[in-house]
């Protein structure tokens, strides 16, 4: 685009969504695009959002961000999966570990051999066949780990979201993004109804051709201005509040997130270098804010480092993420509780999708429709996955959990569960975030073990099947054996390079 036709993209908001958008646009937008970000220190950010899934590494890599520098700057740690404690029943725990569980044999996925092995009394719990879970529970980490038949041990990060935003701010400003500090009080429209400017309360006006609304739950442009509408999913996911508090770190520096079921919701635990992030997600129909805070404070590893802070939300999604010349990214586009750490990923995928259709003028309605369809699909499959965790509980005598067990499931989730129980089938949709192994771990973890397998699995006599299962298990163990402790690996990686090396 020639310089005289500069295309002005204005990002509204400077939380994780705003600065991730700014950084990606700064890195990839061709000449002729001018990127401005407006944020208000007085309003601040939501201040939570610390656990991610492996896709975040692609984002950082695409931005050429050095991993050690990133972990130092964000006080981050490694994450190999999520442990779910008490979700099936009190005292029970399982893990959704990243990466593979077992391995395919011939044309069949591992779960068919595993199901047959279970029936014959030969197979152990799924956890024994996952290098990620073995490493996580042993507190081991190595980004380059591999083993016999195991190419990698996929991982994500825990990080301080505020520090990540600051890190990306430095990155973006160094690449030409203009940051304006100020409070947006309104917007003006063009003759055909698009947003023309955002108006700051000190009289400044910021004009743009395209606006990325990263203003958080407020949805300043997408909702307050364009009134796009919100699809409320509270009937499926009724938790509507979270109380968050950081606490002092203890020696238990786990390379995984923990989600522990509580009487009317659940509690997260996210270990960072300088603190542990904690929060209690709950449904206010069953527990008051004070009770929820008390439950949280009674279940911390160390001393709280701040007062508990309550955050209210409504689960659901914006009816259109892209409306006119506004794209909602982050909390302004919708929200689902962080049970599977998906929000930052949704930011990333919205930005990635935007980059593939970088708008010029005029904006093609077919592109907008395609974008919105894919974004809606993505939200809906994540929603189904979250609902599964709640619906398949066997917790007795707690009104919240009884209600969740009695949920009327949507058609897509009902179908998935029926296919799994009836035929040991798991068919993620095209482009779906969660793999069949992710679904398998949660289905089985919640107690929905398949009682059948593909008859091709019968071709292997019991002795051969056992040898296969044993080989898979020892490959997972051998992969983990040389891995150092998470804390040592991280310390080594994050050690400042000596002046000599740096030079
Ligand atoms: C309880 C909870 C736990 C979460 N945990 C996780 C997790 O573990 N993993 C995960 O991936 N995600 C998690 N998330 C989601 C994650 O926090 C968000 O997706 C992420 O922080 C992005 O937020 P945001 O940038 O959209 O909004 P915000 O952080 O709210 O930022 C909004 C920005 O808009 C600006 N702004 C708003 N109004 C104005 C105005 N009038 N004028 C100027 N500027 C304005 C603000 O100043 C701010 O800069 C969690 C969310 C919640 C609520």
pLDDT digits (tens, 9 = 90+) for 50-108: 999 999 999 999 999 999 999 999 999 999 999 999 999 999 999 999 999 999 999 99
The number of helices, as runs of H, and strands, as runs of E, in the chain is 15, 21
pTM for this entry: 0.96
The Cα-based distances of 384 to 98, 102, 168, 502 in angstroms read 19, 25, 32, 48
pLDDT digits (tens, 9 = 90+) for 213-253: 999 999 999 999 999 999 999 999 999 999 999 999 988 89
CA of 161 to the centre of ligand 1 (A): 9
| Whole-number pLDDT of residue 62 | 98
Which whole number is the average pLDDT over 315-338?
98
Residue count of the chain, please give it.
503
| Whole-number pLDDT of residue 359 | 82
CA of 434 to the centre of ligand 1 (A): 23
Contact 264, 241 (CB under 8 A): no
pLDDT of 476 strictly over 80: yes
Q: Residue 244, class by beta-carbon neighbours within 10 Å (0-12 exposed, 13-18 middle, 19+ buried)?
A: buried
CA of 337 to the centre of ligand 1 (A): 13
Contact 412, 385 (CB under 8 A): no
Of ligand 1's atoms, which has the minimum distance to the CA of residue 19?
25
Nearest protein Cα to ligand 1, atom 37:
215
CA of 330 to the centre of ligand 1 (A): 7
Selected residue with higher pLDDT from 325 and 499: 325
Of ligand 1's atoms, which has the minimum distance to the CA of residue 268?
8
Token digits of residue 330: 């982050």
79 a catalytic residue: yes
Contact 30, 195 (CB under 8 A): no
- Order of strands across the sheet with 195-200? 184-189, 195-200, 205-207
**φ, ψ for residue 309, nearest 5 deg:** -125, 125
Pocket of ligand 1 (CB under 6 A): 13-18, 38-40, 43-46, 48-52, 161, 183-184, 214-216, 218, 220, 242, 244, 279, 311, 313, 330-332, 338, 341, 343-344, 347
């Amino acid at each position: 685009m020639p310089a005289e036709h500069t295309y002005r993209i204005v990002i509204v908001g400077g939380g994780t969504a705003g600065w991730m958008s700014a950084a990606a646009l700064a890195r990839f937008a061709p000449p002729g695009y001018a990127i401005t970000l407006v944020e208000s220190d007085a309003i601040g950010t939501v201040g939570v959002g610390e656990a991610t899934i492996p896709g975040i590494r692609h984002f950082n890599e695409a931005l050429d961000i050095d991993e050690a520098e990133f972990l130092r700057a964000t006080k981050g740690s490694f994450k190999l999966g999520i442990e779910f404690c008490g979700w099936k029943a009190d005292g029970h725990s399982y893990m959704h570990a990243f990466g593979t569980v077992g391995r395919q044999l011939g044309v069949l996925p591992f779960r068919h051999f595993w199901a047959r092995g279970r029936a014959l009394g030969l197979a152990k719990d799924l956890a024994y066949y996952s290098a990620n879970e073995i490493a996580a529970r042993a507190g081991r980490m190595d980004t380059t780990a591999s083993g016999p038949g195991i190419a990698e041990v996929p991982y994500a990060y825990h990080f301080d979201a505020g520090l990540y935003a600051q890190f990306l701010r430095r990155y973006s400003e160094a690449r030409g993004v203009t940051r304006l500090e100020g409070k947006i009080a309104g917007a003006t429209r063009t003759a055909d109804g698009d947003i023309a400017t955002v108006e700051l309360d000190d009289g400044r006006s910021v004009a743009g051709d395209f606006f990325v609304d990263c203003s958080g739950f407020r949805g300043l442009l997408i909702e307050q201005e364009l009134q796009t509408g919100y699809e409320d999913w509270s009937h499926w996911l009724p938790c509507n509040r979270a109380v968050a508090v950081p606490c002092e770190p203890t020696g238990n520096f786990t390379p995984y997130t923990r989600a522990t079921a509580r009487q009317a919701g659940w509690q997260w635990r996210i270990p960072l270098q300088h603190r542990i992030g904690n929060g209690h997600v709950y449904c206010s129909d069953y527990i008051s804010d004070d009770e929820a805070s008390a439950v949280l404070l009674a279940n911390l590893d160390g001393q709280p480092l701040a007062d508990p802070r309550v955050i209210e939300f409504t689960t659901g999604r914006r009816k259109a993420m892209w409306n006119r010349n506004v794209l909602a990214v982050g909390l302004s586009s919708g929200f689902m509780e962080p049970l599977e750490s998906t929000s930052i990923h949704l930011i990333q995928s919205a930005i990635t999708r935007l980059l593939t259709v970088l708008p010029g003028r005029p904006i093609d309605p077919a592109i907008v429709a395609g974008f919105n369809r894919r974004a809606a699909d993505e939200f809906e499959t994540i929603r189904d996955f979250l609902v599964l965790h709640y619906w398949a509980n066997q917790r007795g005598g707690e009104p919240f959990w009884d209600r969740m067990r009695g949920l009327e499931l949507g058609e897509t989730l009902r179908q998935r569960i029926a296919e799994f129980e009836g035929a040991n089938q798991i068919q993620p949709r095209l482009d779906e975030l969660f793999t069949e192994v992710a679904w398998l771990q949660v289905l089985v973890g919640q107690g929905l073990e398949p009682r059948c397998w593909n008859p091709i699995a019968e071709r292997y006599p019991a002795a051969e099947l056992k040898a296969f299962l044993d080989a898979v298990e020892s490959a997972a163990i051998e992969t983990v054996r040389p891995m150092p402790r998470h804390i040592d690996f991280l310390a080594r990686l994050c050690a400042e390079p000596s002046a000599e090396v740096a030079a």
